[in-house]
Structure 1
Amino acid sequence: MKMTFVSLTAGFLLFAACQKSNNSSGNSQLEVRLTDGPANYQAVYIDVEKVEVNVSSDTGTTSGWQTLPLLHPGVYNLLDFRNGIDTVLASVSLPAGTLSQMRLVLGSNNSVVIDGQSYPLKTPSAQQSGLKFNIHSTLTPGIVYRLWIDFDASHSIVATGNGKYILKPVIRTYSEALGGSIKGYALPAAAKPEVWAIQGTDSLLALPDTATGYFFFGGVPSGSWNLFFHAQDSAYRDTTIAVNVSDGVVTNADTVTLRP
């Protein structure tokens, strides 16, 4: 896990069920989440307008600032996301490469509630260019990443007197790879193979590409998994192999050929 502390004054895995997942594009999945630490306010509202990332892809086809589509743009109460609670701001597929920076752009509808009274929060730099912080993470093809924007609300609000307050965010960012992934090929197409990844009572399903036999599982927790190759055509025999999955690593199961 990588952590970065920044003071800014300017500037799925679906478990207990089966899942089909095929990914041969060489992309990574990035999920951006918002969370907060404790603060002695009744509410701290921030107006999330935009999230941007600065990415340089391995292929050179994509570089510079990109705007991520927000799931729910608008006003969030930071105090709703304390004690390990967070919310997803954006989830997007990005070309593998280097994620160097992120920028959070706020709108004008920011406020703090103290003793039942609401006060507007001025955020001039955030409204103009956004709150920018360094990430410097490598996005590996086929790996799912989660990035947290962690506000420290208790240190982010400055009283200027006369009932006026300014938002000068103190933000911690940290990221982690959500498990690893598994890729490989299941042949022949005539066997109509299904591929199941099984660990205890948890199972995932991938349907190989009919032309190439390629299959992929993303966001797989680390540990030992059994890959069960089931032939839907009864003329072929099922088979099982074992693989080990590590966080942030793509495990290559190579090519498995089902025999008549």
Structure 2
Amino acid sequence: MKEILTLVVILAGFVLLSGCVHEENTGTLILQITDKTSDLNITQALVTISNIEVHLSAGGTSENETNNTSAGWYTVVETPQTFDLIEIKDVKEFLGSANLTAGWYTQIRLHVDKALVTIDGVEYNLTIPSKTIKLIKPFQIKNNQTTTLILDCDAQKSIHETGNNKFIMQPTITITQE
């Protein structure tokens, strides 16, 4: 009889404790970058990204709901990384990953510290307006799932000569979900 009573007390304890476990409503985001093939005579296009943020909308489980109290900007990467957009043609390069609150995200922002382009063996500064690349494309992070986004930069459409050996990058980036 004591054994049965002990077993009942232990089982009751497990039931009570299991009710106290709080399962977080999070998923994982993985970001990768690649570059489409280009016909330009660019031998190098170095871009140093210092920080990547994503914006969680106030939406709930669908794009139109407005019940998320965790809305705002979340940092995915805060370690500077330099990429040569020419070297990563047709190759997926890891940008970073983070566990994020589940929900709909509306924007990705890449903060750029420095950008250089080499054309015909000569290196030039590559201007990026506001030093921020803003990507507006909704995506969803689902609870306990991994979402992989590929940022595909098209150097041919993105890099332009403005005259006097000055170049500007107006990023043309396609976001695909894997």
TM-score between both structures, scaled by the size of structure 2: 0.76
SS at match of 1:166: strand
Which has a greater percent of helix? Answer: 2
Contact 2:53 2:77 in 1 (8 A): no
Alignment of 1:51-200 (within 5 A): 51-56=52-57, 58=60, 60-70=68-78, 72-83=79-90, 85-107=91-113, 109-125=114-130, 127=131, 130-176=132-178
What amino acid is the match of 1:31? Answer: I
Identify the structure with bigger relative contact order (alpha carbons < 8 Å, sequence gap 6+).
Answer: 2
CA drift of 1:24 comes to 4.0
1:36-47 to 2 correspondence within 5 Å?
36-39=35-38, 40=40, 41-47=42-48
Unaligned runs of 5+ in 2: 1-21, 61-66
Equivalent position of 1:222 in the other structure: none
Across the aligned residues of Structure 1 and Structure 2, the Cα RMSD in angstroms comes to: 1.9
1:33 aligns with 2:32: yes
Instruction: Tell me the number of residue pairs that the alignment of Structure 1 and Structure 2 aligns.
Output: 148
2:8 aligns with none
Distance in 2, Cα, partners of 1:148 & 1:88: 9
Taking the aligned partners of 1:86 and 1:28, their CA distance within structure 2 comes to 21
**Unpaired stretches in structure 1, ≥5 consecutive residues:** 1-22, 177-260
Name the amino acid aligned to 2:127. K
Structure 2: which amino acid aligns with 1:89?
A: L
1:138 Cα deviation after fit: 2.3
TM-score (norm 1): 0.53
* 1:141 Cα deviation after fit: 0.6
Instruction: Tell me, in whole angstroms, the C-alpha distance in 2 between the residues paired with 1:60 and 1:162.
Output: 49
Mapped partners of 1:139, 1:160: distance in 2: 39
